[in-house]
Amino acid sequence: MPAGGRATVRSKRLGAALKRYREAAKLDQQHAADHIVGSKTKISRIEAGQVSARPGDVRLMLELYGVEDREVHTQLEQLARDSNKRGWWLNSPWPLKPEYSAFIALETDATYIRTWEPLFIPGLLQTDNYFRALLGAKPNPLPPEDVEQSVSIRQARRRTIEEGKTLYAAVIWEPALTAPMPSAVAHREQLEHIHTMAQQQNISIQVLPVSEWRAAHIASHFVMFSFGPEPMLEAVAFDTTTSTVFIEDLADMTRHAQIFETLRSAALTPDQSLSFLQKAMEGMADTQEEEE
């Protein structure tokens, strides 16, 4: 059973994938149960993510469903092995909200992350000082020790793309990059970091010009996740004031994918965006003073 006796992000992803392949094969849960010598209830709970499937059962089900792609077999069997593993983020001495833990699990497992951000710098691109400034802007600032713990978690999250194993594409509206920050030094540092990251082979950064008002207001911020060798969209997430919302409905995910492509088309190209960032940094006064 998944840790804590309830569905985990990984067990739900595995169950949803197995259900898609079963339905595509036009088989019911009893067919799957008979094939693995189990019960229909077990298949139902596996597909709901309430219990973890054994790798051997996953292999048998995929064979029954006629899935011949060996990469799919490898991916889902590994997901079955990992579904109960305790993520690094759960070792924090500060308890994390379940939604935040689930979001980090998606980031950690993803092979391709796409994000649209009209207001803030995307989380995986935020520098420590930018993130501290965001935390300091909250109506009820955190105690210093909580701030630094949050920063350390953000640092670990950044490694998802900094190590080059995950493809990452971000579209950022111009005001999120150019609006003055409380610290001009932290602002320049943030732009320099994005400029550096944009030159990594696994990362694509595109700036949506401020003039593209219509495109910028198609949708609020969101993050899209893919987990296999192909960039098939499998989850969408976005933050509200108090929690994180996850979208797994196929029609809703398809709509978000279409929105993202519209935004990419309206944005500057990656090379043009690099030039934009360079000019933005050059335009900032070199005599900016650091805060005390």
Could you tell me if 44 and 119 lie in one domain?
Answer: no
User: Do residue 164 and residue 273 come from a single domain?
Assistant: yes
> What mean pLDDT is reported for the chain?
88
Residue 118 lies in a domain: yes
Q: Do 219 and 127 belong together in one domain?
A: yes
pLDDT for position 240: 75
Does residue 44 fall inside a structural domain? yes
User: What's the whole-number mean pLDDT along residues 129-141?
Assistant: 89
Q: Which domain holds residue 75?
A: 3-82
| 49: CATH | 1.10.260.40
Sheet holding 235-239, edge to edge: 203-208, 167-173, 112-117, 222-226, 235-239, 244-247
Nearest residue to 218 via CA among 206, 228, 208, 207: 208
Task: Specify whether the backbone of 168 is left (phi greater than 0), alpha (psi in -120 to 50) or beta.
Answer: beta
Note whether residue 215 is domain-resident: yes
Task: Say whether pLDDT at 127 is over 80.
Answer: yes
Q: What is the pTM of this model?
A: 0.82
Q: Do 115 and 152 share a domain, yes or no?
A: yes
The last residue of one of the domains, among 47, 62, 82, is: 82
Residue type, 185: V
Same domain, 184 and 277: yes
Greater model confidence, 271 or 53: 271
C-alpha span between 221 and 124 (Å, rounded)? 14
Same domain, 77 and 126: no
Boundary (domain end) residue, out of 40, 67, 82: 82
Cα angle at 241 between 236 and 245, to 5 degrees? Answer: 20
Residues 234 and 117 in one domain: yes
Is residue 52 domain-shared with residue 102, that is, in the same domain?
A: no
Task: Say whether both 31 and 111 belong to one domain.
Answer: no
Q: Among all chains, which residue has been given the structure tokens 């108090």?
A: 242
Report, as an integer, the average pLDDT of 97-117: 90
Does residue 231 form part of some domain? yes
pLDDT(47) > 50: yes
Q: Which residue has the tokens 């519209």?
A: 262
Phi, psi of 157 (to 5 degrees): -65, -40
Q: Is the pLDDT of residue 83 over 90?
A: no
pLDDT one-digit tens code per residue, 11-40: 888 888 899 899 999 999 999 999 999 899
- Based on the domain organization, do 185 and 261 belong to the same domain? yes
Q: What is the pLDDT of residue 199?
A: 96
In degrees rounded to 5, what are phi and psi of residue 187? Answer: -65, -50
Q: Which residue has the higher pLDDT, 96 or 76?
A: 76
Domain presence at residue 292 = no
Q: How confident is the model at residue 87 (pLDDT cuts 50, 70, 90)?
A: confident
Domain edge (last residue) among 82, 105, 124: 82
Flag whether 287 is in a domain. no
Residue 263: C-alpha distances to residues 49, 118, 171, 201 (Å): 34, 11, 7, 21
Q: What is the largest CA-CA distance in the chain?
A: 73
Task: Please tell me whether residues 40 and 159 are part of one structural domain.
Answer: no
Tally the domains of the chain: 2
Which pLDDT tens digit goes with each residue over 188-224?
Answer: 999 999 999 999 999 999 999 999 999 999 999 999 9
The CATH number for 216's domain is 3.30.870
